[in-house]
């Protein structure tokens, strides 16, 4: 039976949601109200955490996949003492506040991932569960032993990414993962039966999950506690708890209506809800002292567990350095010494160079976990390790299956869990399937290394469906995502030096076809500048600036032009984003004003006007033929670059 104090605690969550959304005149009230008892039980009786140390590595992780209900999470983080203040609740959805419209990791203490686009949180949770189990296998359960808790709604399960992630979770038998499905049968457009007739129970059972339908238990704290604790003890399957809640409860008119999904701002409706809860309808942002005290006590009940954990780690047979390395994801000192280098004149695809880098770093970057969407050998992500499976969770090669979107978001979850650096690969054209997850990686500063191979029309016979032309430009438009297209193996190694030393994600764009290792690319620290001078004759008349496999064409064209007395500077430009970060002096030393520039890239011309006066690019789809034939057909030859330079000079 719920005590008077517990009832007032739950109603405080509801009232804070009402008041914050009303003050902002924006937000989503109903789900936060309906799930207040669930959040109360999770944060006071079930989850392992210490609000005094939100970054404790062995804490349980909580993900609100239904991120629109952010006031539910913000209320709990304030009440249990994560560092939010009542003023932060009042500043909900205001500029610069720590309580934005959807939870954002790094903005609000206690928020584990950035959620908002529905379904992302479920996939993030699968990634976190994989990371926890993997680290537990390598460090032991005394160092790593926690659960991943997730709340999702109808929208999360309608999005296709939830299928991809849940299917892999069932296959991997992630018994450390618990998802609570808020089955309130309400969407923005109306009741869910407008567009949904799935049987979620059968669906998840077919994935290999343990599914338990709790029915009308959303107000029964004892039943919720029992179900959650039972789910926490599951060891061989992920768990889905189906909970039928009533959105907007106990508002007098909004309950179980589409209007409750959004902002409940009507004064009469808010007053009616507060009256139904036995609260003063005229009081706002009111938190009783005993309610706050009880929540603050609950928030620190894990302090002793954290202290015991610290002691266990200190007494572990494993070295402190090894534990820290795996818990933080830091490479072993001097790791960059292992990066391979290549002599000019040899020829190899940059995807193959990438695989050599991954293998070279495996021992010195023990946190690397690499895999792909059914293209492991094709994308250069085939790390020398056993697969990560339910039987062998310590494996470092993860087979994602044909699940590009899920793979991206699962990798985000692994990275944000801490301890692992995920590497994920597929063909560049399929970056389109991953874009929401890639965007969230950049927004979240998730340290994921995205490897996209088969990077141009040079793919060849598979034709336009598989030949990326607009994808590089599209990826370059994402803020905080350095896109690096190496010209050869040496630039691949240097690209990895960039990827492993920055905090957020990095995109590596790699060739299927062999390319020559060029003279001058072996010099250190060139890729980190974004662009650099590869061939530098005195008083150049023209600059040939290329990326990736087209840099070799610039080199050849420069030789031909030199035979006619035309001095041509060649610039390798692997990353526009990194080049833009350089100071003006360096930029002008590479691309001096007054010297015309030919930009060369087997992709669309979009964006090249920032750097070049003319381009050798492709603003149409490709064709099905051998790769070298397709490249020649669309003008990607040394003679094509030479002709563009002569035309520009004339």
**Residue 505 in tokens:** 């994600």
As for how many domains the chain has, the answer is 3
Q: Is the confidence at residue 471, as pLDDT, over 60?
A: yes
- Which pLDDT score is estimated for 3? 86
What 3 state SS string does 450-492 have?
A: EEEECCCHHHCCCCCCCCCCCHHHHHHCCCCCCEECCCCHHHH
Q: How confident is the model at residue 1 (pLDDT cuts 50, 70, 90)?
A: low
Residue 432 counted as domain residue: yes
CATH code, domain carrying 44: 3.40.50.970
How many other CB atoms are found less than 10 A from the CB of residue 600? Answer: 32
Closest CA to 520 of 538, 529, 533: 533
- Percent over 90 (pLDDT), the chain: 99
Is 457 in the same domain as 572? Answer: no
Q: Tell me the mean pLDDT in the region 148-161.
A: 98
- Which pLDDT score is estimated for 123? 98
**Residue-wise pLDDT tens digits, 239-288:** 999 999 999 999 999 999 999 999 999 999 999 999 999 999 999 999 99
**Residue-wise pLDDT tens digits, 276-319:** 999 999 999 999 999 999 999 999 999 999 999 999 999 999 99
Q: Tell me the mean pLDDT in the region 503-525.
A: 98
Residue 197 counted as domain residue: yes
What 3 state SS string does 102-116 have?
A: CCCCCCCCCCCCCCC
Is 353 in the same domain as 276? Answer: no
What single string gives the DSSP state of each residue in 54-91? TT-TTS-EEEESSGGGHHHHHHHHHHTTSS--HHHHHT
Q: Is the confidence at residue 235, as pLDDT, over 90?
A: no
* DSSP structural state of residue 518: P
Q: Tell me the mean pLDDT in the region 76-100.
A: 98
Of 246, 281, 304, the last residue of a domain is: 304
Query: Which residue in 404, 528, 550, 556 is the catalytic one?
Result: 404
Is 480 in the same domain as 596? Answer: no
Cα–Cα distance for residue pair 504/502, rounded to 1 Å = 6
Is 424 in the same domain as 280? Answer: no
Q: How confident is the model at residue 234 (pLDDT cuts 50, 70, 90)?
A: confident
**Residue-wise pLDDT tens digits, 321-379:** 999 999 999 999 999 999 999 999 999 999 999 999 999 999 999 999 999 999 999 99
Domain extent, residue 451, equals: 335-516
Residue 24 counted as domain residue: yes
Where does 298-454 show beta strands of DSSP type E?
A: 347-349, 368-372, 397-399, 421-427, 449-453
Cα–Cα distance for residue pair 246/254, rounded to 1 Å = 10
Q: Tell me the mean pLDDT in the region 458-485.
A: 98
Indicate the range of 228-237, 517-526, 621-630 predicted with least confidence: 228-237
Is 185 in the same domain as 273? Answer: yes
Is 13 in the same domain as 48? Answer: yes
Query: Tokens 């610290």, residue?
Result: 310
- Which pLDDT score is estimated for 2? 73
Closest CA to 16 of 69, 95, 54: 69
The reply to whether 307 belongs to the active site is no
Is 452 in the same domain as 550? Answer: no
* pTM beyond cutoff 0.85: yes
Q: Is the dihedral angle over the CA atoms 381, 386, 387, 393 positive or is it negative?
A: negative
Is 459 in the same domain as 503? Answer: yes
Q: Are 423 and 382 in contact (CB under 8 A)?
A: no
CATH code, domain carrying 576: 3.40.50.920
Is 511 in the same domain as 532? Answer: no
Q: Tell me the mean pLDDT in the region 467-489.
A: 98
Cα–Cα distance for residue pair 432/56, rounded to 1 Å = 36
Residue 579 counted as domain residue: yes
Average pLDDT taken over every residue of the chain: 98
Is 117 in the same domain as 230? Answer: yes
Residue 322 counted as domain residue: no
Residue 521 counted as domain residue: no
Residue 323 counted as domain residue: no
For residue 340, how far is the Cα from the chain centroid?
28
Residue 313 counted as domain residue: no
Is 157 in the same domain as 178? Answer: yes
- Which pLDDT score is estimated for 592? 98
Is 347 in the same domain as 236? Answer: no
């Amino acid at each position: 039976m719920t005590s008077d104090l517990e009832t007032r605690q739950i109603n405080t969550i509801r009232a804070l949601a009402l008041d914050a959304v009303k003050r902002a005149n924006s937000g989503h009230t109903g789900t936060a109200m309906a799930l207040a008892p669930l959040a109360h039980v999770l944060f006071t009786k079930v989850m392992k955490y210490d609000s005094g140390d939100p970054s404790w590595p062995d804490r349980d992780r909580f993900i609100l996949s239904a991120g629109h209900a952010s006031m539910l999470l913000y209320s709990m983080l304030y009440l249990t003492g994560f560092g939010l203040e009542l003023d932060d609740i009042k500043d909900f959805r205001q500029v610069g506040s720590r309580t934005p419209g959807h939870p954002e990791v790094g903005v609000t203490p206690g928020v584990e991932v950035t959620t908002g686009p529905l379904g992302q949180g479920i996939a993030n949770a699968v990634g976190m569960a994989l990371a926890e189990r993997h680290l537990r296998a390598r460090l032991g359960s005394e160092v790593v032993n926690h659960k991943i808790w997730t709340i999702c709604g109808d929208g999360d399960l309608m999005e296709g990414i939830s299928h991809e992630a849940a299917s892999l979770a069932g296959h991997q038998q992630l018994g450390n993962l618990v998802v609570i499905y808020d089955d309130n049968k309400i969407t923005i457009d109306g009741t869910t039966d407008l567009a949904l007739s799935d049987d979620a129970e059968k669906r998840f059972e077919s994935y290999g999950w343990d599914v338990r339908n709790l029915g009308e238990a959303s107000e029964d704290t004892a039943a919720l506690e029992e179900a959650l604790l039972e789910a926490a003890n599951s060891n061989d399957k992920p768990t889905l708890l189906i909970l039928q809640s009533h959105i907007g409860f106990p508002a007098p008119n909004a309950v179980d209506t589409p209007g409750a999904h959004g902002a409940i701002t009507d004064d009469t409706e808010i007053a009616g809800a507060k009256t139904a809860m036995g609260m003063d309808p005229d009081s706002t942002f009111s938190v009783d002292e005993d309610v706050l005290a009880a929540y603050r006590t609950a928030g620190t009940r894990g302090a002793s567990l954290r202290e015991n954990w610290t002691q266990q780690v200190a007494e572990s047979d494993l070295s402190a350095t090894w534990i820290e390395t795996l818990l933080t994801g830091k490479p072993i000192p001097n790791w960059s010494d292992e990066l391979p280098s290549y002599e000019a004149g040899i020829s190899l695809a940059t995807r193959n160079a990438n695989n050599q880098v991954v293998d070279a770093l495996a021992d010195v970057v023990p946190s690397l976990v690499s895999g792909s969407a059914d293209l492991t050998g094709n994308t250069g992500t085939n790390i020398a390790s056993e697969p990560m499976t339910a039987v062998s969770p310590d494996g470092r090669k993860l087979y994602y299956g044909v699940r590009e979107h899920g793979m991206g978001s699962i990798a985000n979850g692994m990275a944000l869990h801490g301890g692992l650096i995920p590497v994920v690969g597929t063909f560049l054209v399929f970056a389109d399937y991953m874009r929401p997850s890639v965007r969230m990686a950049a927004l979240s500063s998730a340290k994921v290394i995205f490897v996209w191979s088969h990077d141009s029309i040079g793919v060849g016979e598979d034709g336009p469906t598989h030949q990326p032309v607009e994808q590089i430009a599209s990826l370059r438009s994402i803020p905080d995502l350095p896109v690096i297209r190496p010209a050869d193996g040496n630039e691949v190694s240097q690209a990895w030096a960039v990827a492993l030393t920055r905090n957020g994600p990095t995109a590596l764009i790699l060739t299927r076809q062999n390319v020559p290792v060029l003279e001058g690319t072996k010099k250190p620290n060139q890729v980190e500048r974004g662009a650099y001078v590869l061939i530098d004759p005195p008083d150049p008349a023209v600059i040939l600036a290329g990326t990736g496999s087209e840099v070799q064409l610039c080199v050849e064209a420069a030789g031909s032009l030199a035979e006619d007395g035309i001095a041509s500077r060649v610039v390798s430009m692997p990353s526009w984003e990194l080049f833009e970060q350089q100071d003006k002096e360096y930029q002008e030393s590479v691309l001096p004003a007054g010297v015309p520039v030919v930009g060369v890239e087997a992709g669309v011309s979009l964006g090249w006007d920032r750097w070049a006066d003319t381009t050798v690019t492709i603003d149409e789809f490709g064709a099905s033929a051998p790769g070298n034939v397709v490249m020649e057909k669309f003008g990607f030859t040394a003679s094509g670059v030479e002709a563009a330079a002569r035309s520009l000079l004339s």
